[in-house]
Amino acid sequence: MRPAGCKGAARRAPNACRLLGRRAHGFYARDAGVALRKNMGLLRSLVCQESTTFKNVWTTHSASPIAYERGRIYLDNYQCCISSIAQEPRILYQKPKCSKSEKIEDALLLECPLGEMLPNPSDYKSSLIVLTAQNWLLRLSADSGEILEKIYLAGCGCKFRYLSWDTPQEVMVIKSAQNKLPAASRQAGIQQSVLFHLAVFQVLPLSFVGMLEINKKIFGNSVTDVDVSNGILIVMYSMGLVRLYNFQAITEQFMEQPFDLGCEFNWNGQVGVVGKYPFGLPCNIKITDTPPLLFEASSLENAFQIGGYPWHYIITPNKKKHKGVFYICSLKDNALAKNGIQDMKCCSLEPDWIYFHPDMSGRIIHVGPNLIKVLKLKEVESNTDQTEISEDFIIVANREENCVNSSVTVTASGRVVKKRYNLLDDDPEQETFKIVDYEDELDLLSTVAVTQIGADGRAHLDLHCNEQGILLKSIPLLESWDVILKSHNNTKGKQRCISI
């Protein structure tokens, strides 16, 4: 085996036979964490060793978007579920085609928490939470598609469209589409003050926390979007402003009355059962005054991220000329970090992007057409109150330097040809990064780079050591990249393709 670690050239990969023998003799029986780490180390070694090859064993096409969650492939608006774990993918369940009113708008995979007693045996298996076009929230068995729970959200006229996690696998948020009055009502001078509805649930078992309105009389007229994440209510405005509020404090201050699913209620003259048709859920969190503001920032297109250690945030100055320029600032005092302005100066059709590394290391990943920078935060030696941004490592696309953006070329006959234009940084004929992803269990940073050749694109998947960026394995993708792109393209009428 080739070395799977990358902390030093002398380090060798663990002997697979030795580790498997120790596992069989129960060396790790008292510590499941050690066994899991050893197993993942073995798998990483097997994946990255030179002799390991990958071949296409299955391909399918779909006219609708394709979703993937933990070894399960979902086709036809979640009506068909295919397991990709077996040697060859197999259908777990296939439901009959549904009407437009039963269409699934969004979905989340729900997994059983470890070490907790749950009320129903079905709670110990993975399930899929789906939101339908008719405001039904369904919990389906991930293996059979059977409906385990069914909750009606609202009969108030709003349309719920989006599912997200406030706290992953613990607290779920359901957001409505923005409420808009019909044109005739607007012409008649009728005002619409409620912009969004948010419903919040704790999961396994599903329990109703509360529902609230986002009202322009409280938050302002220019609200364009809203979200809840990690206990923070995030409100975005048309002028690029982002405001943060403590969602738990809002719940505690403005909760009028708690309700349990399945219980009868008498609310504002209505009598019904919580979560049952036609009443749905009561709007029991009434924000009557502007909550205390935790933080606000102005950023182009409301782009705002928080992460790192100590806490920092990333914004783009709120002017179009600064598009592609990122400021990394301290959340404590808004001070710009040393070397905190990151600008790749790309000339490309697709913009570069930046985000905090999902491995919880506090690092930052900045991806451009031909360069990936992994940045880290560290204290300035001369001033411990200030942080500095430095490069941890970089990954560079494999480009022929002599050909890139060369304005003068010489033909085989010796004729000198001068170009009247320069190539873009993401020109299809040059290798360009399209995808960067992190595999947490194997601790690998994966990249997909593409080069256009004729009508098709040639792509390869590279696996890098997450600690130092060393290339461990490169896997050519035999499928045309043009086909692969269609699997990520939601344009109506396009065929999507997925291969394993």
The per-residue DSSP string of 294-352 comes to EEEEE-GGG-EEEETTTTEEEE--SSGGGTTEEEEEETTT-PEEEEEEEE-----SSPP
Q: Residue 331, Cα to own-chain centre: how many angstroms?
A: 23
28 or 388, which is more confident?
A: 388
Confidence bin at 422 (pLDDT 50/70/90): low
Whether the bond between 310 and the residue before it is cis, its omega within 30 degrees of 0, is yes
For the segment 12-16, the average pLDDT, to the nearest whole number, is 62
Region of residue 242 (left: phi > 0; alpha: psi -120 to 50; beta: else): beta
Q: Is the confidence at residue 134, as pLDDT, over 80?
A: yes
pLDDT, residue 30, reads 64
Opening angle at CA 41, ends 39 and 43, nearest 5 = 70
Q: Is the confidence at residue 448, as pLDDT, over 80?
A: yes
Confidence bin at 60 (pLDDT 50/70/90): confident
For the segment 89-97, the average pLDDT, to the nearest whole number, is 91
Q: Is the confidence at residue 425, as pLDDT, over 60?
A: yes
pLDDT in tens, 279-331: 899 999 999 999 999 999 999 999 999 999 899 999 999 999 999 999 999 99
pLDDT in tens, 352-387: 999 999 999 999 999 999 999 999 999 888 887 889
Domain boundaries, the chain: 16-48, 67-298
pLDDT, residue 404, reads 47
Q: Is the confidence at residue 195, as pLDDT, over 60?
A: yes
156 or 348, which is more confident?
A: 348
Closest CA to 200 of 180, 171, 230, 223: 171
Q: Is the confidence at residue 485, as pLDDT, over 90?
A: no
Q: Residue 381, Cα to own-chain centre: how many angstroms?
A: 35
Cα Rg of the chain (Å, integer): 26
Average pLDDT over all residues of the chain: 85
Q: Is 88 exposed, middle or buried (0-12, 13-18, 19+ CB in 10 A)?
A: exposed
Confidence bin at 418 (pLDDT 50/70/90): low
Q: Is the confidence at residue 486, as pLDDT, over 70?
A: no
pLDDT, residue 392, reads 96
The number of helices, as runs of H, and strands, as runs of E, in the chain is 6, 34
CA 186 to CA 40: how far, in whole Å? 59
pLDDT in tens, 236-274: 999 999 999 999 999 999 999 999 999 998 877 778 899
Sheet with 325-330, side-by-side order of all strands: 304-307, 312-315, 325-330, 336-343, 383-396, 371-380, 364-367, 353-356
Quick one: what percent of the chain has pLDDT higher than 90?
Answer: 57
pLDDT, residue 457, reads 78
Residue with tokens 């779920």: 172
In this predicted structure, which of 21-30, 64-73, 101-110, 486-495 has the lowest mean pLDDT? Answer: 486-495
pLDDT, residue 8, reads 44
